[in-house]
Amino acid sequence: MEGGSNITSHLLSLPSQYGSMGFQLAAPTELLAPFVKSYWGMDHSFSPGKECLQRIVPNGLSELIIYLGDLPESMDPGKSITAHSLLSGQLKEYYDLKVSGHLSLFSIIFEPHGLMAFFDLPLRELFNQAVPLRFILKDVVGELEGRLFESSTFESRIEIVEDFLLKRIRKSRKTYEFERIRCSIEVINRARGVVDIENLSSTACLSRKQFERTFLEHVGTTPKQFLKTVRFQNAVHEKSKNQDLSLTELTYQCGYYDQSHMTGDFQKLAGKTPSRYFAECEPYSDYFGSTE
């Protein structure tokens, strides 16, 4: 972006580049670990007239993000940010945010199936969009935001949101369905997204149609779209572990049919070819990355 820095990846995707911007990342407590992957926060003030472009890419994870400073501006009119607390579902494509002023935020990153443990809604309704939290929990949002605004440290904000989450864990009558999807996610993770949907449905003891419907309800996207996102995240992860991997090696190591298949997925999910993505962005996977 003219007059400012140009950041073309999800903020969590480039932790090593954000030390000067107050980037912090932490794991949840043991009780919440089955549902929450991590917390992250940032606090940075841009100089007057300076701004950056932040590219959001699908990462296979849902997120509750609370802006404690200025709100960013979405370059996609369909994803305008009009509230300080937003619940974001699974994405099918990238979009850009223009950030300036005082960037201060706290975010809860959920496991793919984890959001269902706290919110009584079918996650398909969040697909490819971010919904103001007040539309879902209008009676408690004000108190949550107020406590976070008053808090001055990342650690105290973690305590606040963990208190909030622990009070919201649901005891659903559909626990068996949740466990089926949790086990399916484990299979997908071990296979790095290279697994047949028929095998997943069989392992879950469901017909393919039943499995797809249950998966959509608990994860918020179709199995096919989710597998595409996980393969993309794995390609980024493998590249982060070995920068010397050629695109040809990466293609077959990550289960793509050929290089054009991988290129097509990168362009849809990140808006860039693999070569351009790795030239402009430090490879780091939100999905497979560690908080350690």
Beta bridge partners of 109: 38, 63
SS3 content of the chain, % helix, strand, coil (to 5): 45, 15, 40
Closest CA to 65 of 45, 85, 40: 85
DSSP state of 78: G
CB neighbour class for 80 (10 Å; exposed up to 12, middle 13-18, buried from 19): exposed
Whether pLDDT at 1 is above 80: no
pLDDT confidence band for 175 (50 / 70 / 90) = confident
Whether pLDDT at 158 is above 90: yes
84-130, pLDDT tens digit by residue? 999 999 999 999 999 999 999 999 999 999 999 999 888 999 999 99
In DSSP notation, 244-290 reads T--HHHHHHHTT-SSHHHHHHHHHHHHSS-HHHHHHHS----TTT--
pLDDT average, residue stretch 219-224: 98
In DSSP notation, 124-142 reads GGGTT-EEEGGGT-TTTHH
Residues 25, 28, 29, 33, CA torsion sign: negative
Distance, CA of 292 to CA of 270 (rounded, Å): 26
Give the pLDDT score at 194: 97
Give the pLDDT score at 74: 94
Overall CATH class of domain 11-166: mainly beta
Which helix H or strand E contains 146, and what residues bound it?
A: helix 141-150
pLDDT confidence band for 226 (50 / 70 / 90) = very high
Q: Across the chain, what does the average pLDDT equal?
A: 90
Whether pLDDT at 13 is above 50: no
Percent of the chain at pLDDT exceeding 70: 91
Which tokens is 240 given? 């982060």
Which tokens is 264 given? 């097509």
Residue that the structure tokens 């993505």 belong to: 277
Q: CB within 8 A of 278, min separation 6: which ones? A: 239
Give the pLDDT score at 7: 30
Distance, CA of 35 to CA of 13 (rounded, Å): 20
pLDDT confidence band for 14 (50 / 70 / 90) = very low
Give the pLDDT score at 292: 54
Percent of the chain at pLDDT exceeding 90: 81
Higher-confidence position of 98 and 18: 98
List the single range of 142-156, 161-175, 180-194, 202-216 with lowest mean pLDDT.
Answer: 161-175
241-288, pLDDT tens digit by residue? 999 999 999 999 999 999 999 999 999 999 999 999 999 988 999 999
For residues 22 and 44, the answer to whether their CB atoms sit within 8 Å is yes
First to last CA, the chain: 33
Give the pLDDT score at 121: 86
No. of H helices and E strands in the chain? 9, 9
Whether pLDDT at 66 is above 80: yes
pLDDT confidence band for 21 (50 / 70 / 90) = low
